């Protein structure tokens, strides 16, 4: 069983959010960081297959998202729940999460790192970056922000250049 290329327009992440979630990874062959994310979006914008992810500025991955033009999402199988938990609770500033989880790096377009253990991978090139604005949010989602929660997320929308599925 190996990852193989698939049409990015056929990918729907909806079924993964809140269950398997994803590893968001940015960087290149010289260095990278990954973090677990539990929500995002994908679809068609500007006539292109896209994925939007959200990262708070205090996250180590934010530095990599800012300094690189490519990012990936790797959906790991249910059997990798421990890896997902570690990548969502430890900082790459303090821990080599990839080594600690025994994950194997592979690289897509733009040397964007992803994980061979994934059952679904999206390789994206940034198209649009914007900080979320509390003034434009409904009151019920503003509760995600405040001194205890951390900074306001930055949205990164990327064109899905490559999609891989496991078979």
SS3 140: helix
Number of domains in the chain: 1
- pLDDT of residue 147 exceeding 80, the answer is no
Nearest to 97 by CA among 10, 45, 24, 163: 24
Alpha helices, DSSP H, located in 33-132: 60-67, 81-89, 97-101
Cα 116 from Cα 25, distance rounded (Å): 13
- pLDDT of residue 149 exceeding 90, the answer is no
Element (H, E) at 158: strand 154-166
Buried b (16+ CB within 10 A) or exposed e, 77-91: eeebeebbeebeebe
pLDDT in tens, 20-50: 899 999 999 999 999 999 999 999 999 999 9
Q: What is the pLDDT of residue 61?
A: 97
Task: Give how far Cα 119 sits from Cα of 29, 79, 110, 115, 146, Å.
Answer: 21, 11, 21, 9, 35
Q: What is the pLDDT of residue 166?
A: 79
The confidence band for 125, taking pLDDT boundaries of 50, 70 and 90, is: very high
- pLDDT of residue 58 exceeding 70, the answer is yes
SS3 4: strand
pLDDT in tens, 60-92: 999 999 999 999 999 999 999 999 999 999 999
Q: What is the pLDDT of residue 1?
A: 57
- pLDDT of residue 144 exceeding 60, the answer is yes
Phi-psi region of 112 (alpha: psi -120 to 50; beta: other; left: phi over 0): beta
Predicted model pTM: 0.94
Alpha helices, DSSP H, located in 50-164: 60-67, 81-89, 97-101, 139-142
Domain limits at 91? 3-166
Q: What is the pLDDT of residue 2?
A: 81
Cβ contact 160:124 at 8 Å: yes
- Portion of the chain with pLDDT greater than 70, in percent: 99
CATH code assigned at 59: 2.30.110.10
pLDDT in tens, 88-123: 999 999 999 999 999 999 999 999 999 999 999 999
């Amino acid at each position: 069983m190996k990852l193989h290329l698939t049409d990015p327009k056929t990918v729907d992440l909806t079924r993964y959010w809140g269950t398997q979630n994803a590893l968001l990874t940015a960087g290149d062959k010289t260095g990278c960081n990954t973090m677990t994310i539990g929500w995002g979006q994908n679809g068609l914008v500007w006539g292109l297959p896209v994925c939007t992810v959200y990262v708070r500025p205090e996250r180590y991955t934010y530095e990599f998202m800012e300094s690189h033009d490519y990012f990936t999402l790797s959906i790991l199988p249910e059997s990798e729940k421990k890896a997902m938990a570690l990548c969502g609770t430890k900082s790459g500033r303090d821990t080599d999460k990839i080594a600690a989880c025994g994950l194997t790096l592979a690289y897509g377009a733009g040397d964007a790192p992803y994980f061979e253990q994934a059952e679904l991978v999206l390789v994206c090139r940034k198209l649009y970056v914007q900080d979320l604005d509390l003034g434009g949010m409904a009151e019920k989602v503003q509760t995600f922000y405040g001194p205890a929660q951390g900074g306001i997320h930055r949205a990164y929308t990327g064109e899905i250049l490559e999609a891989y599925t496991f078979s």
